[in-house]
Structure 1
Amino acid sequence: MRFVLLGAGVCGLSLLVVHGQAGVPSSLPLPVLVVVAAAAGLAAWWARRSWWPLAAVGAVTYAWLVMWPPLLVASYHAGRTLTRSRDVAAYLGGCLVACGISAVVSEWQEFETAGPGNALVMALGVVGLPFALGLLVRARRELQKRVEHEHVMRAEQARAQERARIAREMHDVVAHRVSLIVLHAGALEVRAAEEETVRTAAMIGGIGREALADLRDVLGVLRSTKTDDQPPPTLSDLDRLLDQSRALGIAVTRHDEGEVRPVEAAVERTAYRVIQEALTNVHKHAADARTDVRIRYGPDELEVEVRNQAPTAPRQELPGAGWGLVGLRERVELLGGTLRSSAEEGGGFLVCASIPAALPVAVDRRPA
């Protein structure tokens, strides 16, 4: 829109100049002057793609009729866009030639702009000042980009330092505690006399070692911007997760409904995390409760549901951060889905997530 207004302004102002309203008379017929002014306006409108036609029209009309608006606008664009010294020299040289021809034509036709002094003032006003203004605008634009780039780099540096600090805290605290669990589980496995205790200790040690491996991967992501080569878990890894829960004494049953088909990788990852977090809550609050894991493949969405019954025996609840379901809800809503959790009659609990099978274009599909 602004280039349309620019073209209209150049056309109108050029017509005023060549029609004698700015001290430059012309003996050409009015229709010819209108055509010349319209050509200048069209070239100014086209400057949004290329300003060289405007420069050519400006040079010709200035040398012929001392019509300065096209050359003035072209000089401003030249100052904003030309970066190489060769191009700047070529443009300014062409403008000097046009101004020289204009001075000769003005002297011959006895225009009011005739004379070396007037020609010099016109050249400075039509070429020099607009060109300098374009240079100033370009310099300010480049300075602003440089400042924005520095702000981005500082923010990236601050994020990297914070990620490194979190990685150190996780390594010094969490990894140390999990390592102790693995060591005690190994010692219990060796010393225990009962076969049931040996199996439980071995299972605890295996889960602890897997947790250490996952923690090592997380620390690697925090300390580096490189993508992890190991793919994140999806629904194809769900049976292994359910077997771990069964080994801990939970009666877990899987139900698949609908036509099983591949969906977006981000959708599968999120569905897996929902089931994982729901089973973790069952371990914490109702370890011996019967649990049903249901996966429904709808035409446009994937729905996962984890429903556990009331525990048959009281259990001391394990500590937790309290942010599991909150984080899951944010993760599901990021994909355009919904997550709900509620207590069931009789003491059970339900976690249900519905995720669109096809993701919006703006969703980040990188592994998470």
Structure 2
Amino acid sequence: MRFVLLGAGVSGLSLVTLTGQAGVPSGLPFPALVPIAAIAGVAAWYAHRSWWPLAAVAAVAYAGLVLWPPVIVASYYAGLRLDRSRGIAAYLAGSLVVCVTSALVGAWRGGLPELMTATLGNALFMAAGAIGLPLVLGLWTRARRETAAERAARLEREQVMRAEQARAQERARIAREMHDVVAHRVSLIVLHAGALEVRTADDETARAAAMIGGIGREALSNLRDVLGVLRSPPRDAVPDGGPTGGAATGAPPASPRDEAAYRPPPTLGDLDRLLDQSRALGIAVTRHDEGDPRAVGAAVERTAYRVVQEALTNVHKHAGDASTDVRIRYGAGELEVEVRNAASGAPGEELPGAGWGLVGLRERVELLGGTLRTCAQDGGGFLVSARIPA
């Protein structure tokens, strides 16, 4: 809308100038003045898209008729858009040619046109008012816009840096809490299990203590990996299963701790070891593989492993020694994981937990486009079933 108003203003002011009420009279009949003013207005309206038509109209109109309104607008856009060195220099050179031409035409016409354009004082005054001041105003406006854009970009960068710093501090705080609380407690479990294994005279108790110590040491190793990830600098996010950080560029880890942070997480190849741990705790676990086993994505394998792990953990907590079936089914374009435990008369130990296991598991499955179904069975027991696109 403002460009329409600009064009209308230039057109009206040009018409007033051409009739001699705000400038040099053109000497042309009024019907000829209207299209000249209209052309100047249209060129001014179009200047926000292309500046050159307005510059051409302004040059011709000023040289022949001393029509100054288009020159003012053209000079402003020149300062706003042209390159500060070569562009502005070229525009000033062109303006000098136009002013000289206007002076020659004014001397030829004589009278008021000669007085306004061919005398040095008036020519300088017209050049300063119609060319110099609008040009400086355009340069100043552009400088303000660029300064505002740079300030906004700097504020955005500072905001991003503050957010990154806050995230890094929060990651470090979580890592400290996990190290000071969880790692300490698990270390005590491992130490007590080792002491029990050495001191007991019962072979079965010694084996159970050794298994508890092994699971505790594995938990400490996994916890160390997680702490390494939390304490490492944030890296660009990549799809699950792809390289991250230094691995993406071929750079080696900076330290053994960094190397531990990139230790591959468990997949379906580690599933039998997980099932053996549950069997050692007295749960009859049976594995069934259906379909043609084939390679699937690393993220799919990890998610399937976590489904079985969480389901077995819940069996330990709530179903005691209930027999459990683990079924891995390779379907057409998907991998189905099913963990079904029977009813048990012996209650579980009701071990403390965060209460978010199945919620986090559902989020993990849905991130891969899959679905998770959990429900109680009619005859007792519980079912955890996940379908993951493979």
| TM-score, length basis structure 2 | 0.73
Q: For 2:296, which of 263, 266, 270 is the aligned residue?
A: 263
How many equivalent pairs are there?
Answer: 335
Q: Structure 1 residues 310-319 or 204-213, which shifts more?
A: 310-319
CA distance in 1, matches of 2:51, 2:222: 64
Q: CA deviation at 1:216?
A: 0.7
Deviation of 1:161 (Å) = 1.0
Equivalences for 1:147-158 in 2 at 5 Å? Answer: 147-158=155-166
For 1:180, which of 185, 188, 193 is the aligned residue? 188
User: Partner of 1:88: helix, strand, or coil?
Assistant: coil
Q: Which residue of 2 aligns with 1:344?
A: 377
Separation in structure 2 between the aligned mates of residue 174 and residue 26 of structure 1, nearest angstrom:
96
CA change 1:263–1:130 in 2 (3 A) is: farther
- Consecutive unaligned residues of structure 1, counting only runs of 5 or more, are 46-53, 79-86, 358-368
AA matched with 1:329: R
Q: Which runs of 5+ in 2 are unaligned?
A: 19-25, 63-69, 107-112, 118-122, 236-244, 246-260
Cα distance in structure 2, aligned partners of 1:335 and 1:109: 78
**Matched residue, 2:314:** 281
Identity of aligned residues (%): 57
Tell me which of 216, 224, 230 is aligned to 2:224.
Answer: 216
Q: Is the 8 A contact 1:344 1:350 kept in 2?
A: yes
Match of 2:280 in 1: 247
Q: Specify whether residues 265 and 37 from structure 1 end up closer, same or farther in structure 2 by C-alpha distance, changes over 3 A only.
A: farther
Identify if the C-alpha distance between structure 1 residues 154 and 347 changes in structure 2 by more than 3 Å, giving closer, same or farther: same
- 1:63-83 deviations in Å (ceiling 9; x for gaps): 4445545664453234xxxxx
Q: Which has the higher contact order (CA 8 A, sep 6+)?
A: 1
Farther off after superposition, 276-285 or 251-260: 251-260
The RMSD of aligned alpha carbons is 3.6
Match of 1:100 in 2: 96
The residue number in structure 2 matching 1:366 is none
Tell me which amino acid in the other structure corresponds to 2:152: Q
Distance 1:62 1:236, change over 3 A: farther
Q: Of residues 75, 78, 100 in structure 1, which corresponds to 2:79?
A: 75
Matched, 1:319 2:352: yes
- Highest CA radius of gyration, 1 or 2? 2
Distance 1:262 1:126 in 2: 71
Go from structure 1 to structure 2 and tell me whether the alpha carbon gap of 1:34 and 1:310 turns closer, same or farther (over 3 Å shift).
same
Query: Which one is further off, 259-268 or 17-26?
Result: 17-26
Determine the C-alpha separation between the residues in 1 that align with 2:341 and 2:188. 31
AA aligned to 1:88 is R
**1:289 touches 1:308 (CA, 8 Å); kept in 2?**
yes
1:119 aligns with 2:152: no
Offset from partner CA, 1:168-197 (integer Å, 9 cap, x none) = 111111111100100011111111212211
State the secondary structure of the residue aligned to 2:388: strand
Equivalent position SS for 2:201: coil
1:131 aligns with 2:115: no
How does the TM-score come out when normalised to structure 1?
0.77
The equivalences for 1:301-320 within 5 A come to: 301-320=334-353
User: 1:121-142 deviations in whole A, cap 9, x for unaligned?
Assistant: 2224542222322221121111
> Contact 2:7 / 2:44 at 8 angstroms: preserved in 1?
no
Secondary structure in 1 matching 2:91 = helix
SS at 1:322's partner residue? coil
Q: Which residue, out of 215, 233, 237, partners 2:270?
A: 237
Query: Counterparts of 2:324 and 2:182 in 1: how far apart (Å)?
Result: 29
Alpha-carbon distance between aligned partners in 1 of 2:188 and 2:43, rounded to the nearest angstrom: 83
Cα distance in 2 between the residues matched to 1:35 and 1:337: 65
